Structure 1
Amino acid sequence: MIKQHFDLIIVALVALSLVMYDWVIDLILNLLHFIFEIIHIAYEWFELGIEHTVEHLFHTSRHGSQIVTFYILLLIAGLLMRWLWRMLPSLYQRFKRYTRLAWACRKTEFKAYWLSLTLFNKVKLLSTVTGIVFLSSLFVM
C-alpha cells in the first residue's frame, strides 16, 4: 500500500512542511545532526582500524601509519567519487521517469474521479478544499 501511494505521501509531507515549517525545519536539522554524528563516529572507527592495521602490519611509527592511512582514505574517497559520478546520471534519469509516470497516473486518476462526481459533490469537494486552505492559512499567519 505504501509503495502504491508513495507519491501521495510525498505530496502530503510537502504540504505538511509548508503548514508547520518551523517544526519541520527543527526536525530535519536534528535528524541531519544525528546522521552526521553517526557517520563521523563510523568514519573515525574505520580510520583508526586502518591506522592500527598499517602500524602493526608494516611496523611503522605512528606518524608513518597516519600518512599511509591518509593516502588510503584519499584513494577510497576518489573511488567513491568516481562511482558516484558514474551513477548520478542514471539515478537522475530514473527519478525523472518515476516523477513523470507518477504525475501522469495521478492526473489520470484525479481526472476520472472528477468526471465521475455529480455537480453537488463537485461543489462540496471544492468548498471543503477552500475551507481547508483558509484554515491552514490562519495557522501559518
Structure 2
Amino acid sequence: MNKVNTKNKKTNRRLAFRIYEQVNLFYQKIEPDQILEPPEDCDNLMISFKPTRTRRHLVDKHTSQTRQMSSLPLSESNTNDTLNVNLSSTGIAFTTKDALVPNDYLALRILLLATMTSISICCKVVYCKPSNPFEDNQYPFLVGGEFINLTTADSQLLTAHLQKRKKQQIIIYSLLSMVLLTFLSVPDLAFGLLWDITNHVLVTILHAIHVVIELVELNIDHLVEHGFHTDVRQTQIIVFYIMLGFGFISIYIFWKTVPPLCIKFFKNQLRFWSRKKASLLYVWGEQSIFNKIKISGLAVTAIVGYVLFAM
C-alpha cells in the first residue's frame, strides 16, 4: 500500500493551508504497533449512517487492510454529532470531551459533510489543551494531531478538497477585500451605487413577476374561452379564481422554501461571526499588557488617520 510521508522535519506544519470544516469525526485510541495499516473496521463504520435524500452518494476510497481492531463509535450524523474542525493536509485540530495525552495514537474516521466524503487515517496527538472558553457548544479540550500513515489515495482526496476550498476562499476574500476597500475609499459613491443597484434589481424583479402573471392570465383566458365556450363575464370569473388559486399555491411554496433558507443563512452567519468573536477574545486574552496597549494604539491611530485624511 502506498503511503505518504508526513514526518518531514523540514516542513513547518503551521505554514500548511488550513480550513475550518464541518465534519463527523470518529476516533479511537490505538497502540503504536497498530498504525502500520489503516483500521479495517473503519469501512464498516458507516453502515448505520442514514444519508439524506440529497446526499445518498458517499465517496469512500479505501483499499483492503490487513490488521483488525475494534470498531469506532457509531453516529447518526445529527447536528449535535458534527464538529467544526481545523483541517490541513498534515494534521487536524478538534475539540473533545476526553483529555488526551501528547504522543497518544488515534485512529480517525473523518466524514466531510460538504461532499459526503469519508477518510480513514491515523494521527499522533501533538497537544491537548483547554478549548476556547468564549466559544459556545464546545467540548472542554482542544486536541491537535499530526497525520501519520496517510495513504496516497486519501492524501490525494484530502489535498483536492483543500485546494478546492482554497480557491473558493481566495475568490470570496478577494471580492470582499475589493468591496471593503471601495467603501473605505469612496463611501458616499459606494453607498449611492449600492442603493441604485438594489433599487434597479428590485424593480426588475417586480416587473418580471408582473409580466409572468399577465402572460399566464392571458393564456388561461384564451384556454377557458375556447375550451368551455364561455362569454366574457364567465371567463373573467373563472380566470379570477384560477389565478387566486395559483396565488395561494405560490405563497405556500414561497413560505415553505424562502424562510427556511433565510433562517439557515442567518444561523450560519451567526455561528461564523460567533466563532470569529470567540477566537478574537481568546487571542486578546493571551496577549500581554504591552501588546494590548500597542494593538489599541495602532487601532486608534488608524481610525483617527482615516477620519482626518481619508474621509
User: Shared fold (TM-score greater than 0.5)?
Assistant: yes
Tell me the residue number matched to 2:214: 44
Is the alpha carbon distance of 1:4 and 1:109 closer, same or farther for their aligned partners in structure 2, counting shifts above 3 Å?
Answer: farther
Structure possessing the higher radius of gyration over alpha carbons: 2
- After the TM superposition, which residues 1-141 of structure 1 pair with which residues of structure 2 at under 5 Å, given as runs? 1=168, 5=172, 9=176, 16=183, 19-20=187-188, 21-87=191-257, 90-91=260-261, 93-108=263-278, 110=280, 119=291, 122=295, 126=299, 127-135=301-309, 138=311
Distance in 2 (CA, whole Å) between partners of 1:62 and 1:3 is: 60
Runs of 5+ consecutive residues of structure 2 not aligned to the other structure: 1-167
SS in 2 for 1:48: helix
Distance in 2 (CA, whole Å) between partners of 1:46 and 1:2 is: 42
The code of the aligned residue for 1:54 comes to V
Distance in 2 (CA, whole Å) between partners of 1:43 and 1:2 is: 40
SS in 1 for 2:230: coil
Is the alpha carbon distance of 1:101 and 1:134 closer, same or farther for their aligned partners in structure 2, counting shifts above 3 Å?
Answer: farther
Is the alpha carbon distance of 1:24 and 1:54 closer, same or farther for their aligned partners in structure 2, counting shifts above 3 Å?
Answer: same
Is the alpha carbon distance of 1:89 and 1:38 closer, same or farther for their aligned partners in structure 2, counting shifts above 3 Å?
Answer: closer
1:94 Cα shift? 2.0
The code of the aligned residue for 1:97 comes to K
Distance in 1 (CA, whole Å) between partners of 2:231 and 2:169 is: 54
Is the alpha carbon distance of 1:90 and 1:73 closer, same or farther for their aligned partners in structure 2, counting shifts above 3 Å?
Answer: same
TM-score by length of 1: 0.64
Distance in 1 (CA, whole Å) between partners of 2:204 and 2:272 is: 32
Tell me the residue number matched to 2:28: none
Q: Which string of whole-angstrom CA distances, capped at 9 and with x for unpartnered residues, describes residues 49-97 of structure 1?
A: 1111111211212332221111001011122333444556644542342
Q: Which runs of 4+ in 1 moved over 6 A?
A: 112-116
Distance in 2 (CA, whole Å) between partners of 1:88 and 1:27 is: 22
SS in 2 for 1:60: coil
Runs of 5+ consecutive residues of structure 1 not aligned to the other structure: none
Q: Out of 32-41 and 104-113, give the one that drifted further.
A: 104-113
TM-score by length of 2: 0.34
The code of the aligned residue for 2:272 comes to A
Distance in 2 (CA, whole Å) between partners of 1:107 and 1:100 is: 10
> Which gives a bigger RCO, structure 1 or 2 (Cα 8 Å, sep 6+)?
1
Percent of counterpart pairs with the same letter?
26
Name the structure with the higher helix share.
1
Is the alpha carbon distance of 1:46 and 1:113 closer, same or farther for their aligned partners in structure 2, counting shifts above 3 Å?
Answer: farther
